Amino acid sequence: MSHFYYLLGHFNPVETVTMSKKVITREEWEKKLKDVNIRKEDMNKLVMNFLVTEGYVEAAEKFRIESGTEPDIDLATITDRMAVKKALQSGNVEDAIEKVNDLNPMILDTNPQLYFHLQQQRMIELIRCGKVEEALEFAQEELAPRGEENQSFLEELERTVALLAFDDIKNCPYGDLLDVSQRLKTASELNAAILTSQSHEKDPKLPSLLKMLIWAQNQLDEKAAYPRITNFTTAALEDPAV
Amino acid sequence: MPSSVVRTRPEDLAARLGVGGAAEQGDALLRVVREVKNQIIGNKTKKLRYLHLGAVPKIVSVLAAASQGGAGHGDAAVIVQAAAAIGSFACGVEDGVRAVLDSGALPHLTSILSHPEEKVVDAGARSLKMIFQSKLAPKYDVLQEKNLKFIFSLLDSDNENVTELAACIIAHSCERSEEQKALCDAGVLQKLVSLLGGSSNQKDACLNSIEAVVKYNPEVSSKFACIDYGKALKALTNLILDRRHPHTRFLACKCLIAVGQASPCHVEELQIKSKLVLVLVELLEEPGRVGDEVPFSLKTLIEDNEELHKQALSVNAVEKLCSFLHMSSINERRLQGLLIALAELSSKLEECRCQLISPQVLSLIIDALKHDRTDVRVAACYCIRNITRSLKNISAGCLSSEAVIVQFVQLLDDPSKLVQIAALSALCNIVVNGATRKSVLIRSEGVSRLVQLSKSMDSALRYVSVQVLRNLLFLADITDKECILKELTLSTLASLVYDSDCSIQEQALALLNNLMDGCDSIKHLFAEDNMILDAIMRQLKNSSSVGVCIQGMFVLCNIAARSELEKDSVMNFLVPSHEDSCNRSLAIKFLQSKENSLRVACLWCLVNLTNPNSGGLSRRVTRLRDAGIIFQLKSMLNDPCLDCKLRVRMILEQCTEFETTQG
């Protein structure tokens, strides 16, 4: 056996490398793909799940009419959820809180971390507008008691209050709190909590399928050369690199 | 638009609540109630403030007025807001639940469950759910027909909030086995199983109540297992595999554990149980409440089952549990659970103990001894107790350091009795060997504390502290022994031998054995007019506890190994001379005992009494023969217990040896 490898290695070193990897041609691959039957309804359900979870209510409605796929959640509740999200994303935290409480009062009562993040976001918005005194008062009245209840809240509170110590808040070490991404983070936490309260999964299925595809391709890369998908927006098959 | 912080003060809002006086009406009232609700949700401080202002009875009367005032639309909106506010008061604050119950909210909330508007029903059901999640809520007497009917009417609802409420009420109200049986007979379990097909929140609520109905009840558990030829069990085993819903997964595990405990035959021992071990170990990684509770369930599942301990070890449970110990911001509940699970795992398997002895892990456990929470301190003590079940570990690492001993001595003064007992039981193992450790304990005034505890009014405390003293005396050097005895005093020892609890008598006698072992301390038995010896003999005569007799006989055995005088006094006690031997002699009584160890103890005593090198041997052999003991011994030549058999032969040889030399 070793002798055989030696010879091969001598004459054609490239061959030996690919020897251990199986090569699957485009034709073979496409034939295999054709053998897999995925029902159209299942694909539609995946799309609907994505639209509903992400809150694209109009698209979901249109898709329902066009494809006949029934959403697994009352579309009206999406509108409410999106109203909450929108309020938060535009910095209107109090409005968002009132809307969530109307939707289901148990969400914030049973989720102290989310409640704290919303209050923290309120304070950030006050600081953003330069309402320093109001922000301080708010921190004392509303946030300090939460910090007493939980050590990790206290640390986050300290970070937030530290914003007040800087003149140029945008460029201070805690400036990231003022970033739009902070609003989005809070909004997505709230969105997830609402979905959970509605017995709905908090993440759409499609992105995790995509993750699985990437994982599977990485695994396969070690064993075979095959037409892989590199561009996920077009999902075009690439010729195996031999 | 940024939100404004200016909110109406609670004092003003509270004044505008309710009926009559300064109270608002119509839309204004609606706004006030809603504002209060929005201020208190998620905010404990605000809830307490409004409670002080007496807001709860006011809101309840708003609810009462609105729900009685017909089904107009305006009313419905007020009902929804008032019900939500009441529910929030009952969430997370005990005083809030009390206030809600005291102001008679329950009947009003229950009545709105039949309101025509879905939103109102939702609000009522959610609010009631909050109330019934509290321990303070009243229980529904499910033995009453009408209550059962009511619960069924809720279970049959199309509204998931209502079915969840029903499940919540069941979980809350079902405690005694007759309640479990009543619910089971009424078909509640079948109904709950059918609801497992619903949304995940409904599933969770149903799993919670299934657990409550089957827990510790073999009859109900086995009925549950037989529903639809095992379909219910199958449903649960499917749920534990569903990775998307960790909370549901965990609750299903708890149900299966409960069924498995109550009726083991239905949960195919290893197969399902190893699956459960696997799932629970996986769930350890969950953040939040699930992750906090998992270690407790893991402990319950594997308790006292070495096979499952091994399973857990094979899926790296110990590494995982330890890795969480290293996390900086770990909450108390989780810390307690981790320690409890680790204590369980190290209770049997040496392999696990070895993993915990590494300095990094051990120092974390030792830190936990100082934790603020009683539960955590207790768990840490038991963890160390079980780690030190391994002789190798006692002598290793930081456990031998003086600081650790001192820390345990401090725990002996802990305000909680549970901590004291746990610390004592750890000390019990720690002091077994190592002269330095013993002297550290003596120097750190640990002994005087132990002696105090051995006089405690509480028998559990007395028991463990005597046990520690007993182990402390084990192989201790003579100066340490004398030092301990001085502290303990003979009269305390005597009163321990006379203790009302026979397990403590047994420990006290065992302590005496360790005290006398291998040195001159035996003289103390005869001090103060044979105070201790008298006590031992009294107990041997009267006690019905085998353990007490065994330990007592070993003490006599030690005495019988000494001078002629002492041998004779033992002889007189065990085999009284003719005059007072109307009763069976103690020797015969013990030799005829069914208990192997008692026979062995008695035989060892006779071995010492018939020692060929002693002068009074002839006297004693004759005495033994006359009392029928030699005859009894001959009948024991083929004793089923090997140790007995060998001792019997030894004694008989010693006796015949004497007779042949005489003859």
Q: Which residues of B touch A (CB under 8 A)?
A: 1-5, 34, 37-38, 41-45, 84, 87-88, 91-92, 123, 126, 129-130, 160, 199-202, 244, 329
* Interchain contact, B3 vs A151, CB within 8 Å: no
Does the residue B72 lie in any domain? yes
* Pair B203, B196: CB distance under 8 Å: yes
A10: buried, middle or exposed (CB in 10 Å: 19+, 13-18, 0-12)? Answer: exposed
Taking CA atoms, B87 is separated from B75, B122, B128, B150, B506, in Å, by 18, 12, 7, 21, 56
Which residues in chain A are closer than 8 Å to B329, comparing Cβ atoms? 151-152
Chain B residue with minimum CA distance to A118: B42
Model confidence at B7, pLDDT cuts 50, 70, 90, reads low
pLDDT at B25: 74
pLDDT for residue A12: 44
**Chain B closest-CA separation from residue A91 CA (Å):** 6
Q: For residues A99 and A242, which has the higher predicted lDDT (pLDDT)?
A: A99
Region A58-80: mean pLDDT is 90
Residue B394: inside a domain: no
> Residues A164-186: pLDDT tens digits?
888 777 778 787 888 888 999 99
The candidate with the shortest Cα–Cα distance to B360, out of B397, B390, B311, is B397
Q: What is the mean pLDDT of chain B?
A: 88
Asked if A90 and B87 come within 8 Å (Cβ–Cβ), the reply is: no
Q: What is the mean pLDDT of residues B169-173?
A: 95
A127 to chain B: nearest residue by CA? Answer: B2
Which of B92, B112, B138 corresponds to the end of one domain?
B138
Q: Is residue B83 part of a domain?
A: yes
Nearest CA in chain A to B93: A109
The predicted model gives B560-578 an average pLDDT of 84
Using a CB-CB distance cutoff of 8 angstroms, which residues of chain A are in contact with residue B129?
106
Residues near B533 by beta carbon (within 8 Å), at least 6 away in sequence: B525, B526, B559, B569
- pLDDT given for residue B616 in this prediction: 82
Q: Is the pLDDT score of B34 beyond 80?
A: yes
User: Taking CB atoms and an 8 Å cutoff, what residues of chain B touch A198?
Assistant: 199
The residue that leads in pLDDT, B317 or B663, is B317
Which residues lie closer than 8 Å to B661 by C-beta, 6 or more apart?
Answer: none
Q: What is the pLDDT of residue A152?
A: 83
CB contact under 8 A, B2 and A125: yes
> Per-residue pLDDT for B19 more than 60?
no
Contact B277, B298 (CB under 8 A): yes
Digit-coded pLDDT (tens) for B474-522: 888 888 888 888 888 888 999 999 999 999 999 999 999 888 876 677 7
Give the contacts of B540 (CB within 8 A, at least 6 positions apart).
Answer: B548, B549, B552, B553, B556, B573, B586
Q: Which residues contact B632 (CB under 8 A, 6 or more apart)?
A: B587, B588, B591, B592
| B217 in a structural domain | no
DSSP H stretches of helix in B174-316: 177-185, 188-195, 200-214, 218-226, 231-239, 246-262, 269-283, 288-302, 306-314
Return d(Cα B214, Cα B204) in angstroms, integer.
16
Band of residue A16 on the pLDDT scale cut at 50, 70, 90: very low
pLDDT of residue B269: 62
Q: Give the per-residue pLDDT at A147.
A: 86
A131–B2 C-beta distance less than 8 A = yes
The pLDDT score that the predictor gives to residue B194 is 93
Alpha-carbon span B215 to B256, nearest angstrom: 10
Cβ within 8 Å, pair A106-B129: yes
Residue B223 backbone phi and psi in degrees, to 5: -65, -40
Task: Please judge whether B129 and A108 are an interchain contact, meaning their C-beta atoms are less than 8 angstroms apart.
Answer: no
Q: Residue B410 — very low, low, confident or very high, per pLDDT cuts 50/70/90?
A: very high
pLDDT over 50 (residue B4):
no
Compute φ and ψ for A230, nearest 5 degrees: -105, -40
Q: Is B6 a residue whose pLDDT tops 60?
A: no
Interface of A with B (CB under 8 A): 90-95, 97-98, 101, 104-106, 108-112, 115, 122, 125-126, 128-129, 131, 134, 137-138, 141-142, 145, 149, 151-152, 197-199, 201
Q: Tokens standing for B593?
A: 């005992």
Does B199 sit within 8 Å of A109, measured CB to CB? Answer: no
Q: Which domain holds residue B127?
A: 1-138
Q: What is the pLDDT of residue B534?
A: 87
Which residue bears the tokens 């007189």?
A: B572
CA distance B513 to chain A (A): 53
Nearest CA in chain B to A134: B5
CA-based nearest residue in chain A for residue B90: A109
ipTM: 0.78
Are the Cβ atoms of A105 and B84 closer than 8 angstroms? yes
Residue in chain A closest to B247 (alpha carbons) equals A196
In order, the DSSP letters of B595-639 are -HHHHHHHHHHHHHHT-TTSTTHHHHHHHHHHTTHHHHHHHTTT-
Cβ-Cβ contacts under 8 Å between A and B: the total is 78
The shortest CB-CB distance from B3 to any of A95, A145, A151 is to: A95
Task: Quickly state the pLDDT bin for B20 (edges 50, 70, 90).
Answer: low
Residues of chain A in contact with residue B38, where contact means CB-CB under 8 angstroms, are 97-98, 101
Who wins on pLDDT, B523 or B472? Answer: B472
Mean pLDDT of B636-643: 90
Q: Return the pLDDT at A17.
A: 47
- Closest among A75, A57, A125, A74 to A97, alpha carbons compared: A125
Contacts of B128 in chain A (CB under 8 A): none
What is the DSSP code (8-state) at residue B104?
Answer: T
Q: Which of A36, A32, A8 is nearest to A226 (CA)?
A: A32
Chain B, nearest residue to A144 by Cα: B45
pLDDT for residue B55 is more than 70: yes
Give me the percent of chain A exceeding a pLDDT of 70: 91
Contact assessment for residue B96 and residue B47, using Cβ atoms and an 8 Å cutoff: yes
Subunit contact B38:A97, Cβ cutoff 8 A: yes
Please answer yes or no on whether A128 and B329 come within 8 Å at the CB atom: no
- pLDDT value, residue B372: 92
> In this predicted structure, which of B179-183, B356-360, B656-660 has the lowest mean pLDDT?
B656-660
Q: Name the residue of chain B whose CA is nearest to A114's CA.
A: B42
Q: How many CB atoms are located within 10 Å of the residue B654 CB? A: 19
Segment A6-19 mean pLDDT: 43
B331 pLDDT band (50/70/90 cuts)?
A: confident
* Helix count and strand count (H, E) for chain B: 41, 0
Asked if the Cβ–Cβ distance from B2 to A197 is below 8 Å, we say no
Q: How far is CA B202 from CA B158, B205, B234, B599, in A?
A: 12, 5, 18, 63
Radius of gyration of chain B (CA): 34
- Condensed to tens digits (0 to 9), the pLDDT of residues B268-297 reads 666 788 899 999 999 999 988 899 999 999
- Whether residue A164 contacts residue A130, with contact meaning beta carbons closer than 8 Å, is answered with no
Q: Which of B122, B138, B154 is the last residue of a domain?
A: B138
The confidence score (pLDDT) of residue B168 equals 96
Tell me whether residues A105 and B44 touch, CB distance under 8 A: no
From B521's Cα to the closest Cα of chain A, the distance in A is 56
Distance CA B14, CA B49 (A): 10
Does residue B400 lie within any of the structural domains?
A: no
Look at residue B352 and tell me if it is in a domain: no
Residue that wins the pLDDT comparison between B19 and B663: B19
Residues from chain A that touch B45, judged by Cβ atoms under 8 A, are 145
Q: Give chain B's largest Cα–Cα span.
A: 120
Mean pLDDT, range B138-149, rounded to an integer:
92
Contacts of A177 (CB under 8 A, 6+ apart): A124, A159, A160, A163
Q: How far apart are CA B642 and CA B645, in angstroms?
A: 5
Cβ pair A129:B44 closer than 8 A: no
**Domain contains B31:** yes
Min Cα distance B482 → chain A (Å) is 51
Which candidate, B613, B612, B616, places its Cα nearest to that of B654? B612
What string of DSSP letters covers A191-209?
HHHHHHHTT--SS-HHHHH
pLDDT in tens, B413-466: 999 999 999 999 999 888 887 767 777 787 778 888 999 999 999 999 999 999
> How many CB atoms are closer than 10 A to CB B585?
20
Residues of B in contact with A134 (CB under 8 A): 4-5
Q: Name the band, by pLDDT with cuts 50, 70 and 90, for residue B602.
A: very high
Q: At B20, which CATH number?
A: 1.25.10.10
Instruction: Assign B396 a pLDDT band (cuts: 50, 70, 90).
Output: low
Bridge partner residues of A22 (DSSP): A224
Closest by Cα among B367, B369, B344, B342 to B356:
B342
By CA distance, what is A196's nearest residue in B? B201
| Closest chain B residue to the Cα of A97, Cα to Cα | B38
> How many domains is chain B partitioned into structurally?
2
What are the chain A neighbours of B5 within 8 Å (beta carbons)?
122, 126, 131, 134, 137-138, 141
CB contact under 8 A, A199 and B130: no
Mean pLDDT of A82-93: 93
> Does a structural domain hold residue B651?
yes
- Minimal Cβ distance to B2: which of A108, A126, A145: A126
Q: Which of B3, B203, B327, B372 is best to mutate for the A interface (most A CBs within 10 A)?
A: B3
Q: CB-side exposure of B630: number of CA atoms within 13 Å?
A: 14
What pLDDT is recorded for position A54? 87
> Is residue B620 scored above 90 in pLDDT?
no
Number of Cβ atoms within 10 Å of the Cβ of A111: 20
Q: Are B227 and B189 in contact (CB under 8 A)?
A: yes
Q: Is residue B25 classed exposed, middle or buried when 0-12, 13-18 and 19+ CB atoms within 10 A define those classes? A: exposed
User: Between B4, B44, B88, which is nearest A105 by CB?
Assistant: B88
State whether B126 and A112 contact (CB < 8 Å).
Answer: no
pLDDT of residue B23: 66
Are the Cβ atoms of A131 and B244 closer than 8 angstroms? no
* The pLDDT of residue B658 is above 90: no
To which residue do tokens 């921190």 refer?
A: A139
DSSP state of B510: H
Q: What is the pLDDT of residue B661?
A: 66
Does A7 have pLDDT greater than 50?
A: no
Q: How far apart are CA B171 and CA B205, in angstroms?
A: 9
Residues from chain A contacting residue B200 (CB–CB below 8 Å): 199
* pLDDT tens digits along A126-142: 998 888 899 999 998 88
The rounded percent of chain B whose pLDDT value lies above 90 is 58
Closest CA to A240 of A67, A98, A27: A27
Last residue of a domain, one of B118, B138, B158: B138
CB B44 to CB A104 under 8 A?
no
For B246, which residue in chain A has the nearest alpha carbon? A201
